[in-house]
Amino acid sequence: MDGWDDIRKHRNLLPSLTWWDSNKLLFRHDFRLPFKCKNMLIVIGRSGKVSFAGEKLKRITSLIKDTAIYLFLEDPDAYGNQFDFTADMPDGNHIYRLPADTPVSASIAKHMKDGKIPLRFEASILFAPYTSYDDMLYICQLPIVDYLKTISDAVYTLDNRNLLMPYSDPLEDYRDIAGKRIFGFASLTNEDVKLLHKYARLASGGLMVELGRFLGGSTNIIASAIRDSGKKTEFHSFDPLLPESVHKTLAKNALADYAIIHKVASREAYETWGAISGGKEIDFLFIDADHSYEGVTFDLTSWGSIVKKGGVIIAHDYCNFPEGGLAGVDVAINNALLDGKFEVLESCYASIAVRKK
C-alpha cells in the first residue's frame, strides 16, 4: 500500500489530519482515565492470534501506579505461547484464566464469592481486539459489558486502534426527530451518528445506498433520517452478511418500510446495480464495507462514479492512522481528496462527509 509520501506533502489540504505515534496509547480528548484508582479489573476478550495484546497490556500497566490489577483472560488458548502475561503484570497483581465453557461474568462472580477478588472496582477495561466479522459480532454482544457496569464505577474499552475510551453504545441516547429512541448497535461514535443522520436526512428524497451495515445500526440511523425527512426515498443497504439483528431492529423501530436489505457484497452489488436501479444516479452513499485500501478505492471509484454531481458520500473509519488495520481507509480517501474529485463538507473523529464535484 502506498500513498503516504504524497499525502505528507499536502497535509494542509486534508481535514483534521493527525499524525499519531502508533507505539503510544491513544486517548479521547474529552476524558481522563483514573489511573490513580485503588483497584482495576481488566478483561481481555477473544482475540484469536492478535499479536499486540501483551504489548497493550504493558502500556496500560506502565501508566498505573499503586493500583491492584485483576486480569481475566478469556479463551487463553488462543494466545498460544506468544505472551508471558505474568511478566507483563506489575508485582502483586493477579491473573485469572477463564474456562472457555463458562460465561465471563459467572467466572468473575465466582471469584468474588470465593473472596479472591474485590466485590467492586473503581475502573474496568474491556480489551476487545477483533480480526474478523465474527469476532466483532461476538465482542459487541458480550453480556460482560452490562455486567461490568454493575460492579465498576466506570467501564472503558481498548480497541485494536490503541484507542482507550469510556464504553458507550452510541444508540443508547440517540433519538429521532420525534424524540423516539432508535434501538440497535452501531460501531460508530456519537459524533459519527450525528453526522450520518444529518446528511442522510438532507439527502432524503433521492436514491440512497449503504455499503456495509455490520449489525444494522447505521441502517437504522439512515432509515430514521429518511422517516424524519418525510420524503419518499429509495434506500438500498448491501452487505455479504445478514445477522438477524438487522431485520429485528428495523422492525422494532418501525423502520422496515424505509430500507431495502440486500445480502450481497459491494462488488457484486455494483455489477447488478443497473438492473436494480434502472440506471439511476445516487444522491447519497455511505461507505463502511471492505476496509482494505483496494476495497475502499473500489467503492470510491466505482460506486462514486454513479453518485450524481453534488451528491454526498460519507465514509466511516476515516481515523487518520498511518499504520494498522484502518490505514487503507485513510490512504484511499486521502488519495481521492488529493485528486480533486470531492470537496470536504465535514469530518469528525471517525467519519468524513464529502460532496462530489
- Can you give the CATH number for the domain in which 147 is found? 3.40.50
Same domain, 190 and 314: yes
Same domain, 152 and 191: no
DSSP string, 64-121: --S-EEEEEEESGGGGTTS--HHHHSPTT-EEEEEPTTS-HHHHHHHHHHTTSS-S-B
What is the model's pLDDT at position 169? 62
Per-residue pLDDT of the chain (357 residues; tens, 9 = 90+): 344 444 444 444 444 334 333 334 444 333 345 457 788 888 876 544 444 556 666 666 666 667 788 887 765 554 444 445 555 555 556 877 777 667 778 888 889 999 989 999 988 887 765 444 444 444 445 567 778 889 998 888 776 555 666 666 666 667 777 777 777 777 777 778 889 999 999 999 999 999 999 889 899 999 999 999 999 999 999 999 998 889 988 999 999 999 999 999 999 999 999 999 998 999 999 999 998 889 999 999 999 999 999 999 999 988 755 445 567 888 888 888 888 889 999 888 688 999 999
Query: Is position 144 within any domain?
Result: yes
What is the model's pLDDT at position 43? 81
Q: How distant, in Å, are the alpha carbons of 180, 215, 328 from that of 136?
A: 28, 10, 19
Query: Is position 21 within any domain?
Result: no
What is the rounded end-to-end Cα distance, in angstroms, of the chain? 26
What is the model's pLDDT at position 136? 47
State the maximum Cα–Cα separation within the chain, in Å, rounded to a whole number: 67
- For residue 281, the 8-state DSSP code is P
- For residue 70, the 8-state DSSP code is E
Set of cell numbers at residue 51: 499479536
What is the model's pLDDT at position 280? 92
What is the model's pLDDT at position 191? 79
Q: Output phi, psi for 69, to 5 deg.
A: -110, 130
What is the model's pLDDT at position 2? 41
Strand pairing category for 342-347 and 260-263: unpaired
Same domain, 112 and 67: yes
* The last residue of a domain, from among 144, 161, 178: 161
Same domain, 192 and 319: yes
CATH number of the domain encompassing residue 194: 3.40.50.150
Domain residues for the domain of 81 are: 26-161
Instruction: Give residues with Cβ within 8 angstroms of 268, minimum separation 6.
Output: none
- For residue 32, the 8-state DSSP code is -
Same domain, 151 and 247: no
Same domain, 148 and 190: no
Cα(127)–Cα(150) distance, integer angstroms: 18
What is the model's pLDDT at position 285? 98
**How many domains is the chain built from?**
2
Q: Do 46 and 73 meet the contact criterion of CB atoms below 8 Å apart? A: no
Q: Which residue has the cell 469510556?
A: 166
* The last residue of a domain, from among 161, 195, 216: 161
Same domain, 214 and 340: yes
Same domain, 80 and 188: no
Same domain, 77 and 182: no
Query: Is position 314 within any domain?
Result: yes
Query: Is position 187 within any domain?
Result: yes
Assign 140 to helix, strand or coil.
helix
Same domain, 332 and 238: yes
Query: Is position 346 within any domain?
Result: yes
Same domain, 342 and 322: yes
What is the model's pLDDT at position 263? 96
* The last residue of a domain, from among 112, 127, 161: 161
What is the model's pLDDT at position 48? 42
Set of cell numbers at residue 342: 470531492
What is the model's pLDDT at position 146? 77
Same domain, 290 and 337: yes
